[in-house]
Structure 1
Amino acid sequence: MTTPRSRGGTLAFVGALAALAVLLLALWFGGGTPAPTIAGLPSPGSLTRWGLPIVRLVHDICAVATVGILVVSVIAAQDAKARASLAQAAGRWAVVWTFSASLTALLTLSDFLGLPVGEAVESGVLPTFLFNIPQGQAFLIVTVLALAVSIGVLLPLGTWGRVALLATAVVTVLPPAYAGHSASAADHNLAVSSLMLHIAAVTIWVGGLLALVLLLRDSTDLVTTVRRFSALALCCYIAVGVSGTINAWVRVGGLEPIFTTRYGLLILAKIAALLVLGWFGWRHRRTTIEAMSSGDTRAPFLRLAAGEIVVMLATVGLAVGLSRTAPPPSEVELTTDNTALGYVLSPFSPGGLLTQIRPDPILLLIVVGLAVAYLAGVRRLAQPWPPARTAAWLGGLLILLYAMTGGLAAYAPAIFSIHAVQYGLLGTLGPALLVFGAPLTLYQEVNPSGQARIDSPLGRALSHPWTALGLYGVPLLALYLTPFFDLAQSSLAVRLVLQVIVVLTGFIFFATAIGEDPLPRPIVAIVRTRILAAALALNALITFVLLIGPSRGDDWYVWLDLVWAPDRETDQQLGAMLALAFPALTIITLMLLLMGRWRTVRQLSGKRQ
């Protein structure tokens, strides 16, 4: 009689075997198998040529397993002993992930130089490769972060600690997206963003199901956890399909190469696998999950999930094989400025702010997800919800969406004044409108236990007035008063992270200053007014420095060398004024609103007396 552990081991073995078989088949079909060595030409040798895709497959499976276990540790209602068991399992996978990432870096160096691994290491190029070449940088970051995850799982973490560790693990899987085929696509930014979303969604989806079947198959929490994971899996499935379609379209440039090139045919194989996996999910939602919930046996779910996992891991092998296959050549030739930007940008015109778009799948998913979650919460309420709050929330999201994916997003990396308007919307007007949507109040109405999560040590720390002010000011000071500006303009990853940070810190600040939602600590109106005044003074200081100080981003704008760009000095002065205008209008309006509320409260108090 087989034990649960042996059944899990058999599934892992069969899945790994399927992944390896499909990888080898994809390498053969796509031309990624080692070519015969030609005498007199450098060659990395068979160890590198065969070892690199196989080690990369091990790397990807370990990443999937680590993230999946951490997902389960967050969504499952586990006791301390069960959480410790999950942490140990995640730690083991993370250690192998760390070693496979470092080995991938060494084999990539060997392949990069065309030398056997030993000679490549002895060449002395390794430090340069790791710190200056995108492929080396990517796997160095993965190695360091995977090591941090393997250490983090050993710590006694609470709910938010486990969420932070999961977020770190998800971020760790993303750097290779910058070093793959998407990095050389005609629309670099869109290709990389869609690939990042694709990788993250696949990792959470596949890893979560793998962890459920291998680690929770006999747990009393399996039914509850599966129901929670099912909703997440559906979101991941949609994200995988949309992001994969976008990435494939950017890479091949049309329908014809899909059917006429081997790269395109491998993409069709991935699409077929996605459809098969969609059928698995449909069967789960129609039959197996309901059967478990009604008290019947969980065997049908586990059998179907086992088959699904084998197909998933085989698809991971197919993806690794696709990454070793040369994509069809792009018909779009990028100029120097477009190469630096990562996309083709037409000369600026005021109308371009309305007609140009820079769709980013990650940002679109976040904004749409926030809108859907808010509207779903309103629908679940037993009592009416003020329409003005809903309008404020959706209006704030629309402003953020335009600032991050519209004409402002297209021209902001190239023109300083447009950049200033973009960050004015991201840091002040957008977050302020979101705060008037009262999302925390809505969350507490829908989830009565949510008050405990908000009234936590972290919540009390973030809602301290001067902490909130500091969080609001630090990103802006770092952006405009340090050399960080060049990096934020030139790097897509840094730009995305910074924009999210600016929105989050702006939301925390205005939530504290406005008081639309109940906060863990009471804050009197005079303190709210003071921190708003301090924020206004901070923006004025930044404007003053930009007006009298040296120009920002000289190296970046020289590299772009846009013939139609406005005069740098004049544009920075205009940008400095715009950087103050949007925050000032927003903050002054809020101060007047607060003073009006304060006066009304005092008048009512006087009448009662």
Structure 2
Amino acid sequence: MRPATGRRWSRLALGCAALAAAVVAVVSVVAGAFPYAVLGTGDPGTLVRVAAPLLRLTVDAAATVCTGALVFAAFFTRPQPSGLVSPPAFAALQTATRAAAAWAAAALLLWPVDAAATAGVPLRRVLTVHGLAVTTEALTGPKAWLATAAAAGALAILARRTLRWRTTFTLSAVAVLATLPIITAGHSASDTNHDIATAAIAIHIPAAVVWLGTLLALLRTRGLAGDRPAALRRYGRLSAGCWCLVAFSGLVDAAVLAPGASPVTTGYGALLLLKVALLAGLGWVVLRTRRRLLAGDPAPRRLLATELAVLALAFGFSVALTNLPAPKFIDAVVSGHQTLLGYDLTAPPTALRLIADWRVEVIFAPLCLLLAAAYLRGVRRLDRPWPPGRTVAWLAGCAVLMVTTSSGIGRYAPAMFSVETVAHMLIGMLAPLLLALGAPLTLADAALRPAPPDGLPGPREWLSAGRESVSVRTLTQPVVATVVFVATPFLLYFTAAYDLAIRYHWAHLAMDVFFLAVGYLFAWTVTGLDPTPAPAPSLLRLGVLLVAMPFDVVFGAAILASGHIIGDGSASGNMYRALDLPWVPSLADDQRLGGFLALVTSELIMFAMLAVVLIRWRPAAAEPDYQELLDELAQRRTRPASLDA
């Protein structure tokens, strides 16, 4: 693929964007006021009916260009010896800056337009201080677009000022997160099975954005020279992975939004079937492209052009679908439990139900399986024995995380405070401890070969860059890790954050992820099996652990002594009271039970962590396996290997 063809690809991308816009406009005009009549809202007028989906497409397009450019700069370019970004990465950062500014501007414009569309009123009634204040307070969509605008605006500022290659990883992560606020509104966020649909769309949107955005960045970027073949092969793997994620999450979401025979009896279903057909076609294109790239074809132009066009068309159909009523909302009879939880709870949580009554969590369950498979693959790639205890610990950590989120514990946790506290102790303490005992970073260093000196950085270099980043260096300081670990449950349980988390599934997912991340940082720092950027002596690690242990008692005692019902405030819509579970006659008693279980569970886990630290408190010379492994790593760093072989 000649660099001179960059402008040709840019023109093709603009043509694809115009095609997607045409699809959105035609569907909006043909649908007319029908979607609003079905949902029982007023007709906001032609301007809003057409402008809302077109602005949504503009937001998605800008987000795609911005995110793709940042992902390209981080994972498809090499840094200069000084650590600064290369010229292609710098050009991508400039593209990301402009796209982020457009992203923020479009989201701000969509703020009042979406409010008018959701409320079913003309735009002029919203374009007042009072109108904006009322609709923003009452509706979720306008809040989501304000959050998106703020995140995109911050990205525009940061991308413009970024010159260090390592910083591009952080910007890429922020860009992906900035695509998520919209999952708080829309078809997937309410009524029956909204917990499944919300998790699915949280996978679907970032995967699609990264896929199309990276393809655009790769096609239009010049100056890769000898790195272009390796970058194209890397893109082949990325596109295959993104297709799997998009297909899996899209089919799950479709099953929720268009159940039964609705795909063949409604206009929404017809468009959905077209999108599924496009997705299947994309799978074929991705497979052909990947085979051509692995066979050494440096420029499968027609296949890449087809992939770009079909992806853009699929984006158009996706935006058009957001403007139509999903079949699950038409003449639906929804129970109170389904509205609040996404499913019904009909019986008390016996021990058997907590173990066997599974409702698979769409994000955590596949993640646990992938983590387990990746670890086992890493162990197989080693040319020396790996301690079996570490493998058992890692697999046990994955199992604890999956069981906690997908078994009856995960089903009952959003509805009962006592079950929720146990779930958080398992997610935030036991699972992180077991995962840290698996020493995954040491395994990755041993199993992943270094990139050649004249090649693109690979997974090993990405892990090293992340581990040596300022944020990780700071958070793995024993004192900092302990303060964050100790403060987290108090800040979440005794503020409105907990009320918000149990009312909305997206917030509940975010809280679980946060507990897991904080717990892992603490376990990683204290256990010391994986070296941290600034390794701490055993005495310091033991000291901070002993300091942290009493706070679990304080936390449990604070819940036991609290006269306030946690999770039943205005931010949750008095959710526990609204659920009215017959086997929870007293919310106060259930809260006291939760406090007692939190105290006992957390202390048992902390004593297990203390035992690990004490067992490992011995001179380095007494740890031959670990030292031998480090010696082997030092030798392997000098062993040349091709990342893309």
TM-score of the two chains, using structure 1 as the length reference? 0.91
Which deviates the most, 228-237 or 197-206? 228-237
CA distance in 1, matches of 2:483, 2:122: 52
1:309-344 deviations in whole A, cap 9, x for unaligned? Answer: 011101111111111222224576332243222332
Task: Look up the match of 2:381.
Answer: 380
Contact 2:357 2:408 in 1 (8 A): yes
CA distance in 2, matches of 1:433, 1:218: 42
Task: Look up the match of 1:531.
Answer: 544
In the TM superposition, 1:425-436 aligns within 5 A as 425-436=426-437
SS at match of 2:415: coil
1:224-247 deviations in whole A, cap 9, x for unaligned? Answer: 222222222222111111111111
Match among 469, 474, 495 for residue 487 of structure 2: 474
CA distance in 2, matches of 1:455, 1:46: 53
* Aligned alpha-carbon RMSD (Å): 2.8
1:551-605 deviations in whole A, cap 9, x for unaligned? Answer: 322333223322332422222222112102222112213323433444798999x
Q: Aligned pair 1:560/2:566, yes or no?
A: no
In the TM superposition, 1:110-509 aligns within 5 A as 110-122=116-128, 124-216=130-222, 219-254=225-260, 256-292=261-297, 298-299=298-299, 301-330=300-329, 333-350=333-350, 351-447=352-448, 452-453=464-465, 454-455=467-468, 457-509=470-522
Code of the residue aligned with 1:269 in structure 2: it is L
CA distance in 2, matches of 1:314, 1:352: 45
Q: 1:561 to 1:186 in 2, by over 3 A?
A: same
SS at match of 1:425: helix
1:94-131 deviations in whole A, cap 9, x for unaligned? Answer: 11111211222222233244444334313721122224
Q: 1:496 to 1:92 in 2, by over 3 A?
A: same
Quote the sequence identity (%).
32
1:267-324 deviations in whole A, cap 9, x for unaligned? Answer: 11111101111111111111145334xxxxx34x233212210111011111111112
Contact 2:28 2:50 in 1 (8 A): no
Task: Look up the match of 2:606.
Answer: 587
Code of the residue aligned with 1:71 in structure 2: it is V
CA distance in 2, matches of 1:119, 1:579: 50
CA distance in 2, matches of 1:459, 1:532: 19
CA distance in 2, matches of 1:156, 1:10: 28
Question: Residue 459 of structure 1: CA displacement?
Answer: 4.2
Q: 1:574 to 1:62 in 2, by over 3 A?
A: same
Task: Look up the match of 2:82.
Answer: none
SS at match of 1:581: helix
Contact 2:233 2:293 in 1 (8 A): no
CA distance in 2, matches of 1:273, 1:185: 28
CA distance in 1, matches of 2:340, 2:163: 42
CA distance in 2, matches of 1:107, 1:147: 19
Contact 1:438 1:517 in 2 (8 A): yes
Contact 2:3 2:223 in 1 (8 A): no
Match among 94, 99, 112 for residue 93 of structure 1: 99
Code of the residue aligned with 2:158 in structure 1: it is G
Task: Look up the match of 1:607.
Answer: none
Contact 2:77 2:89 in 1 (8 A): no
Contact 2:197 2:256 in 1 (8 A): yes
1:503-547 deviations in whole A, cap 9, x for unaligned? Answer: 111111112211212233343333222222222111011011112
1:346-387 deviations in whole A, cap 9, x for unaligned? Answer: 222312212333323222343233223222222221212122
CA distance in 2, matches of 1:116, 1:596: 69
Q: 1:34 to 1:559 in 2, by over 3 A?
A: closer
CA distance in 2, matches of 1:480, 1:163: 31
CA distance in 2, matches of 1:531, 1:194: 39
Q: 1:572 to 1:6 in 2, by over 3 A?
A: closer
Contact 1:201 1:236 in 2 (8 A): yes
Contact 2:35 2:323 in 1 (8 A): no
SS at match of 2:160: coil
SS at match of 1:576: helix
CA distance in 2, matches of 1:363, 1:26: 35
CA distance in 2, matches of 1:36, 1:506: 45
Contact 1:101 1:142 in 2 (8 A): yes
Question: Residue 3 of structure 1: CA displacement?
Answer: 5.0
CA distance in 1, matches of 2:3, 2:441: 49
Question: Residue 45 of structure 1: CA displacement?
Answer: 3.0
CA distance in 1, matches of 2:35, 2:412: 48
Code of the residue aligned with 1:307 in structure 2: it is T
Question: Residue 189 of structure 1: CA displacement?
Answer: 1.2
Code of the residue aligned with 1:530 in structure 2: it is G
SS at match of 1:291: coil
CA distance in 2, matches of 1:348, 1:334: 21
SS at match of 1:554: coil
Code of the residue aligned with 2:305 in structure 1: it is A
Q: 1:459 to 1:96 in 2, by over 3 A?
A: closer
How many residues are matched?
A: 593
Task: Look up the match of 2:592.
Answer: 573
Q: 1:13 to 1:217 in 2, by over 3 A?
A: farther
CA distance in 1, matches of 2:528, 2:302: 52
TM-score of the two chains, using structure 2 as the length reference? 0.86
Which deviates the most, 114-123 or 207-216? 114-123
Q: 1:157 to 1:393 in 2, by over 3 A?
A: farther
Contact 2:25 2:50 in 1 (8 A): no
Task: Look up the match of 2:69.
Answer: 69
Q: Aligned pair 1:10/2:11, yes or no?
A: yes
Q: 1:280 to 1:540 in 2, by over 3 A?
A: same
Contact 1:63 1:203 in 2 (8 A): yes
Code of the residue aligned with 1:67 in structure 2: it is T
SS at match of 1:237: helix
Code of the residue aligned with 1:541 in structure 2: it is V
Task: Look up the match of 1:295.
Answer: none
1:424-449 deviations in whole A, cap 9, x for unaligned? Answer: 11121111111111111112212466
Which deviates the most, 449-458 or 372-381? 449-458
SS at match of 1:574: helix
CA distance in 2, matches of 1:94, 1:512: 36
Task: Look up the match of 2:45.
Answer: 45
Unaligned runs of 5+ in 2: 79-84, 451-459, 624-645
Q: 1:70 to 1:321 in 2, by over 3 A?
A: same
Contact 1:539 1:583 in 2 (8 A): yes
Which deviates the most, 424-433 or 482-491? 482-491
Contact 2:7 2:220 in 1 (8 A): no
1:138-196 deviations in whole A, cap 9, x for unaligned? Answer: 11111111111111211225344222211221122222222212223411111111112
Code of the residue aligned with 1:47 in structure 2: it is L
CA distance in 2, matches of 1:13, 1:523: 53
CA distance in 1, matches of 2:306, 2:220: 13
Question: Residue 496 of structure 1: CA displacement?
Answer: 1.3
Contact 2:418 2:595 in 1 (8 A): yes
CA distance in 1, matches of 2:137, 2:164: 35
